[in-house]
């Protein structure tokens, strides 16, 4: 398994040794220096690892704490089409912990559904990951598109995501999906993966690949067992369907890596630097002639006020209230942001805490022991103690053994 920063999916894959979609990062060394620990006699080849800059893992470097709710539906995202008054409503919400990762694939399905009506003047409700992407695809297809939303980036929930490729993170529950959903997921995953490759190498690194290191005090267990979830929900795991586009993780022999734990694994995963990526999406959409209007809808009947006959509903967690869709279960996640470190380009996972070095900050996230961490918790209030505990877990690594304090 891989550890992808969005969370537990990462740990899950990491433990399974698949190297999959997620990744980890490396713990570092002294401030401003490159980690180059003393080799242990007769063990390992340090030249297989790049030098790793230290992460300054201290609570005084917290610049903000953000909280976000993943819109999880046991059946998977809602992608059907319905009629409301004189409007055709194309749904595109409920992507759990995979909204960014699946955005292009899911948006492709929604855009196709909208265009199949024959209409070329289309409204999109929502300006998060799904709304922006779907609107972009519709605009590229030649439609006149207006986004209507209460908030736009950087104020949406999407803007508070981790920013890692995690296409099957809390995307559905085992036994709750319709026939064909798994194949549809694969299609969304592959479409998105291909789209993200076109954002590599651009100024500001909206999308990039980074190494992640998962660290263990004991040998990570074999197999791919899903940890027992106290809430009784078992999240689907589809990563095996896309192994051909998923880098494998690699066990690093004791002594062959700079970390103070005996066991370490390295994976490589795609990362979204969301501040830049969302800004780029919005700029491109506006430059292409797309429009955005600030508007709040209180009930589906409010859609009647729109001039467009076709409306794509990308309201994310907001669909729970707007569409009275109580099948949406919140899965809370909190990020403590440390001041960005330009020289750090890796992720790290240790004892239920994940770290991702983004260009706009060091993401520190308590991810718990299963993907159910935060399940059915709709509190969007930040917890300073949760943030400090997560930092302390990683900081403890720096005080141990060979890794100097940062
Ligand atoms: C802590 C955390 C980390 C995550 N990390 C990742 C990750 O690394 N990778 C990944 O792929 N996914 C990740 N996710 C999941 C991802 O963030 C979500 O799946 C995604 O944000 C959903 O996007 P959305 O566009 O559907 O919803 P939102 O971003 O919530 O956007 C909804 C839009 O609809 C508008 N809206 C809602 N209701 C109304 C209304 N009534 N009237 C008008 N406008 C309305 C809002 O203003 C907003 O513009 C993470 C989630 C969390 C909580």
CB 380 within 8 A of CB 241: no
Give the pLDDT confidence score for residue 44 in this predicted structure: 38
Give the pLDDT confidence score for residue 277 in this predicted structure: 98
Give nearest CA residue, ligand 1 atom 19.
99
pLDDT above 70 (res 280):
yes
- Measure 3 CA to ligand 1 centroid, in angstroms: 21
- Measure 261 CA to ligand 1 centroid, in angstroms: 36
Determine whether the shortest distance from the Cβ of 147 to ligand 1 is under 6 A: no
- Mutation pick for ligand 1 pocket among 22, 25, 65, 70 (CB with most ligand atoms within 8 Å): 70
Determine whether the shortest distance from the Cβ of 168 to ligand 1 is under 6 A: no
Give the pLDDT confidence score for residue 222 in this predicted structure: 56
Determine whether the shortest distance from the Cβ of 316 to ligand 1 is under 6 A: yes
CB 52 within 8 A of CB 37: no
**Range of weakest confidence among 37-41, 120-124, 166-170, 250-254:** 37-41
Give nearest CA residue, ligand 1 atom 32.
315
Q: Tell which residue, 246, 255, 211, has the closest CA to residue 347.
A: 211
- CA dist., res. 199 & res. 210, Å (int): 14
What average pLDDT does the segment 319-328 reach? 98
Per-residue buried b or exposed e for 27-45, using 16+ beta carbons within 10 Å of the residue's own CB: bbbeeeeebebeeeeeebe
Give the pLDDT confidence score for residue 40 in this predicted structure: 32
- Measure 28 CA to ligand 1 centroid, in angstroms: 32
Query: φ and ψ at 272, to 5 degrees?
Result: -110, 120
* Residue 283: band (very low, low, confident or very high) from pLDDT cuts 50, 70, 90: very high
The whole-chain average pLDDT of the chain stands at 86
pLDDT, tens only, 160-205? 999 999 999 999 999 999 999 999 999 999 999 999 999 999 999 9
Percentage of the chain with pLDDT > 90? 76
Determine whether the shortest distance from the Cβ of 265 to ligand 1 is under 6 A: no
- Measure 145 CA to ligand 1 centroid, in angstroms: 20
Pairing mode of beta strands 87-91, 291-294: unpaired
Q: Tell which residue, 187, 183, 167, 173, has the closest CA to residue 109.
A: 187
Q: 3-state DSSP call for residue 38?
A: coil
- Measure 333 CA to ligand 1 centroid, in angstroms: 12
- For residue 152, the ligand 1 atom closest to its alpha carbon is 49
Give the pLDDT confidence score for residue 47 in this predicted structure: 45
Determine whether the shortest distance from the Cβ of 128 to ligand 1 is under 6 A: yes
pLDDT above 60 (res 43):
no
Looking at residue 228, the DSSP 8-state letter turns out to be P
Contacts for 61 with CB less than 8 Å, ≥ 6 apart: 338, 339, 362
Looking at residue 180, the DSSP 8-state letter turns out to be T
Determine whether the shortest distance from the Cβ of 333 to ligand 1 is under 6 A: yes
266 CA to centre of own chain: 19
Per-residue buried b or exposed e for 304-327, using 16+ beta carbons within 10 Å of the residue's own CB: eebebebbbbbbbbbbbebbebee
Give the pLDDT confidence score for residue 48 in this predicted structure: 58
Q: What is the DSSP string of 340-401?
A: P-TT--EEEEETTEEEEEETTEEEEEE--SSTTTTBT-------HHHHHHHHHHHHHHHTST
Give the pLDDT confidence score for residue 346 in this predicted structure: 94
pTM of the model: 0.89
Determine whether the shortest distance from the Cβ of 157 to ligand 1 is under 6 A: yes
- Mutation pick for ligand 1 pocket among 126, 136, 148 (CB with most ligand atoms within 8 Å): 126
**Range of weakest confidence among 30-44, 253-267, 361-375:** 30-44
Contacts for 157 with CB less than 8 Å, ≥ 6 apart: 68, 69, 128, 316, 317
Superfamily of segment(s) 8-398: NAD(P)-binding Rossmann-like Domain (3.40.50.720)
Give the pLDDT confidence score for residue 254 in this predicted structure: 81
């Amino acid at each position: 398994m891989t550890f992808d920063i969005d969370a537990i999916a990462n740990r899950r894959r990491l433990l399974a040794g698949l190297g999959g979609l997620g990744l980890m990062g490396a713990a570092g060394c002294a401030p401003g220096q490159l980690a180059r620990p003393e080799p242990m006699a007769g063990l390992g080849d340090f030249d297989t690892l790049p030098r790793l800059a230290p992460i300054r893992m201290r609570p005084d470097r917290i610049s903000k704490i953000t909280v976000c709710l993943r819109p999880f539906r046991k059946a998977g995202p809602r992608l059907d089409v319905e009629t409301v008054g004189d409007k055709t409503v194309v749904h595109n919400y409920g992507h759990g912990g995979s909204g960014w990762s699946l955005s292009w694939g899911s948006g492709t399905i929604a855009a196709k559904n909208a265009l199949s009506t024959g209409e070329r003047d289309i409204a999109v409700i929502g300006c998060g990951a799904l709304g922006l992407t779907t609107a972009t695809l519709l605009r590229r297809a030649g439609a006149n598109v207006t986004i209507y939303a209460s908030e736009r980036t950087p104020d949406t929930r999407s803007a508070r995501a981790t920013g890692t490729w995690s296409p099957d993170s809390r995307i559905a529950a085992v036994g709750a999906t319709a026939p064909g959903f798994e194949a549809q997921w694969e299609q969304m995953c592959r479409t998105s993966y291909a789209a993200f490759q076109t954002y590599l190498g651009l100024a500001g690194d909206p999308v990039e690949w980074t190494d992640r290191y998962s660290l263990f005090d004991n040998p990570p267990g074999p197999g791919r067992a899903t940890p027992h979830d106290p809430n009784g929900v078992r999240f689907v795991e589809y990563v095996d369907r896309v192994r051909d586009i998923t880098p494998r993780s690699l066990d690093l022999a004791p002594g062959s890596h700079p970390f103070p734990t005996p066991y370490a694994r390295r994976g490589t995963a795609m990362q979204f630097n969301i501040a830049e990526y969302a800004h780029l999406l919005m700029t491109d959409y506006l430059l292409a002639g797309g429009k955005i209007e600030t508007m709040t809808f209180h009930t589906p009947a409010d859609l009647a006020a729109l001039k467009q006959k076709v409306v794509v509903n990308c309201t994310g967690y907001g669909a729970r209230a707007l569409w009275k869709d109580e099948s949406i279960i919140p899965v809370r996640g909190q990020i403590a942001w440390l001041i960005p470190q330009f020289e750090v380009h890796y992720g790290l996972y240790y004892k239920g805490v994940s770290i991702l070095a983004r260009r706009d900050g060091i993401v520190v996230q308590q991810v718990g022991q299963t993907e159910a961490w935060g399940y059915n918790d709709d509190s969007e209030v930040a917890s300073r103690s949760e943030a400090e505990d997560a930092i302390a877990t990683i900081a403890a690594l720096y005080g141990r053994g060979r890794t100097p304090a940062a």
